[in-house]
Amino acid sequence: MATRAAVAWEPNKPLVIEDVQVAPPQAGEVRIQILYSALCHTDAYTWSGKDPEGLFPCILGHEAAGIVESVGEGVTEVQPGDHVIPCYQAECRECKFCKSGKTNLCGKVRSATGAGVMMADRKSRFSVNGKPIYHFMGTSTFSQYTVVHDVSVAKIDPKAPLDKVCLLGCGVPTGLGAVWNTAKVESGSIVAVFGLGTVGLAVAEGAKAAGASRIIGIDIDSKKKCCINLFVRPYPVADLFSSRATLAILMEIAKDFGVTEFVNPKDHDKPIQQVLVDQTDGGVDYSFECIGNVSVMRAALECCHKGWGTSVIVGVAASGQEVCTRPFQLVTGRVWKGTAFGGFKSRSQVPWLVEKYMKKEIKVDEYITHNLTLAEINKAFDLMHEGGCLRCVLNMHA
Ligand SMILES: NC(=O)C1=CN([C@@H]2O[C@H](COP(=O)(O)OP(=O)(O)OC[C@H]3O[C@@H](n4cnc5c(N)ncnc54)[C@H](O)[C@@H]3O)[C@@H](O)[C@H]2O)C=CC1
Ligand SMILES: N[C@@H](CCC(=O)N[C@@H](CSC=O)C(=O)NCC(=O)O)C(=O)O
Ligand SMILES: [Zn+2]
Ligand SMILES: [Zn+2]
């Protein structure tokens, strides 16, 4: 079929809306009409050329929702018309990883998704004028139609609003799961969140739900202090980003969201880890790096309390970057961990997260600061880089 998609022909060059041919799904594959797709920082990361797995030309996008258009041979768990969320973290329920009970990673299709192709024939289902276009993360949701592996499709409640629950394809589950599944934060804990984008704010939301006593948000963008206000709709979002709300109001509303204190490292002469250790009687119980900066990853580990503090790396760092610290930091009881998709098993738990959203037990709408169309995708990336944007949702068929 012919469709429209945003093609990244080269790193860092504007995406081009192209007429793309999308081949029918083969055995074990599903073709999905993508209705809404949001932008995650990881899309920008791969587009920048810093992803060692980045392949060009490709169709980016991995945080989306849509409707199954057709299925290949042997696909039994979804059928045309089903409402679905494509999942970059597959769940086959048969491989060594899936059966381990120790991880949400799945090995069944990972070699193909990392190589930008489909498992069945190691080829792409996308082409422009006969030229193959690589898949991305096994999802490629910046296309009106995409083809994914059946093990990468979560079937969801058809009553769920797709323009909202598309966010449950990445950022929000990653933050919540980092707290609930990876760190397992206990009630009363002191938590530090580095980076208050969608992922970091979802960490704060998860920490609040877990009963954390203090949730310290750290960001170099002081406008992010305003982001923690998005829950109060009488304030237009634009006003919050222009910092017209008073600090008293901001902090009142921040409590509702989860962040109890805001620290901008630029306001301090001391290293941020020392600032936090001083403010918390020896360090935090849990910290989360939600930026992708290896220096901040070190700070996040070193602000943890001696003897038990745990730091979780969530951010994705550029090719060639490495983390380092003095081994003494670990010898003295701090723990360094990482998380992919917040440790959630995608096909099993994304529908559960959708239900939690429908019951108003988790927030989603509040992370959406902008709505644009597929044709406006380059503007959406500009917004992400400008800093006044959490999630921008693209209407793929407007
Ligand atoms: N492990 C996983 O499964 C996932 C990882 N990610 C990664 O998580 C990270 C966050 O993603 P988003 O929330 O979408 O990004 P974002 O760009 O919306 O948020 C990042 C925040 O970090 C802040 N920041 C940048 N440099 C900083 C510094 N030196 N100190 C303090 N704050 C700083 C920015 O002002 C911004 O508010 C990215 O690296 C992304 O690739 C995203 C989703 C899933
Ligand atoms: N290709 C990248 C890997 C980036 C990465 O770590 N991706 C995360 C999801 S980020 C979502 O926004 C992830 O789930 N990783 C596990 C995986 O199997 O890819 C690189 O090589 O740096
Ligand atoms: Zn993402
Ligand atoms: Zn598996």
Q: Which residue has its alpha carbon closest to ligand 2 atom 17?
A: 340
- Give dist(CA 133, CA 394) in Å, integer: 21
**Token duo for residue 206:** 């998860």
Q: For ligand 2, is residue 40 a contact (CB within 6 Å)?
A: yes
Task: Give the closest residue to 190 by CA, choosing from 220, 167, 176, 210.
Answer: 210
Beta strands 29-38 and 145-149 are antiparallel
> What is the distance in A from the centroid of ligand 4 to the CA of 202?
26
Helix, strand or coil, per DSSP, at residue 260: coil
**Predicted interface score ipTM higher than 0.85:** yes
Instruction: For the chain, give every residue range classified as CATH 3.90.180.10.
Output: 2-169+364-395
pLDDT of 30 reads: 99
Q: Which of 40, 92, 316 to mutate to test the pocket of ligand 2 (most atoms within 8 A of CB)?
A: 316
Q: Which residues are known catalytic residues?
A: 40-42, 62-63, 92, 95, 98, 106, 110, 170, 391
Distance from Cα 270 to the centre of ligand 2, integer Å:
32
pLDDT tens digit sequence for 149-205: 999 999 999 999 999 999 999 999 999 999 999 999 999 999 999 998 899 999 999
Per DSSP, the three-state class of 315 is: coil
Distance 42 CA to ligand 2 centre (A): 8
CATH 3.40.50.720, the chain: domain bounds: 175-339
Q: Look up residue 246 and give its amino acid.
A: T
Q: Which CATH superfamily is domain 2-169+364-395 in?
A: Medium-chain alcohol dehydrogenases, catalytic domain (3.90.180.10)
Structure tokens at 69: 């258009």
Ligand 2 neighbourhood includes 52 CB (under 6 angstroms): yes
* Domain at 175-339: CATH architecture: 3-Layer(aba) Sandwich (3.40)
Q: Is the shortest distance between the CB of 218 and ligand 1 below 6 Å? A: yes
Give dist(CA 232, CA 86) in Å, integer. Answer: 31
Q: What is the mean pLDDT of the chain?
A: 92
> pLDDT > 70: what percent of the chain?
91
Window from 97-111, 248-262, 313-327 with minimum mean pLDDT: 248-262
Phi and psi at residue 380, to the nearest 5° = -65, -40
CA of 262 to the centre of ligand 3 (A): 24
From atom 9 of ligand 2, which residue's Cα is the shortest distance away? 340
- Per-residue model confidence as pLDDT tens digits over 52-67: 999 999 999 999 999 9
